[in-house]
Structure 1
Amino acid sequence: MEPRFLLLSDVAAELNVSDSQVYHMVRSGELPAIKVGGRGQWRVERAKLEEYIQQKYAETAKWVLANPLTERDAAE
């Protein structure tokens, strides 16, 4: 059974980005997270991460539609 909550380092590994990028996403409110424990360690709920990924797919699809591939882009 997968854990419900992930460390920021686990999220970074899932998204293939740096820990600092995930920290920024959490601190800016882009990626929902909670602080737990006496030392206030960040945790991201797996379901929220999946929602975030789906949101990014939708945003990317909208961007692709608004920015069609040009002949120049196809050659690269």
Structure 2
Amino acid sequence: MVSRFLTLTDVTEILNVSMPQAYALVHNGDLRAMQIGGRGQWRISQDDLEEYIQRMYSETERRIRRGEREGSTPDKAAAER
């Protein structure tokens, strides 16, 4: 049976990111998650992770079309030109 929810460790493996990066995605609201149990363990639904991945693909495509550099905002990219 496939689990509906993933742990942060699962997310780090799927996205190939570090644990601090995964925590940051959750804490700044980029990746929807919930805490469960007395120890407040984080869980992320597979659907929410897939939505995040698709959103990042879309944002990356938009940035590439605009000619923006990685990590820059539209205002910074315009100023760099």
TM-score (normalised: structure 1):
0.85
Distance 2:48 2:2 in 1: 14
> Relative contact order (alpha carbons < 8 A, sep ≥ 6): 1 or 2 greater?
1
Cα deviation, residue 19, structure 1: 1.0
Runs (5+) with no aligned partner, structure 2: 69-81
**Number of positions where the alignment pairs a residue of Structure 1 with one of Structure 2:** 68
In structure 2, give the amino acid aligned to 1:13: E
Root mean square deviation, CA, Å:
1.1
Cα deviation, residue 2, structure 1: 2.0
Give the structure 2 partner of residue 13 of structure 1. Answer: 13
Distance 1:43 1:60 in 2: 26
The answer to whether the aligner puts 1:64 opposite 2:64 as a matched pair is yes
In structure 1, give the amino acid aligned to 2:33: A
**Large movers: runs of 4+ above 4 Å:** none
TM-score (normalised: structure 2):
0.80
What percentage of residue pairs aligned between the two structures are identical?
A: 49
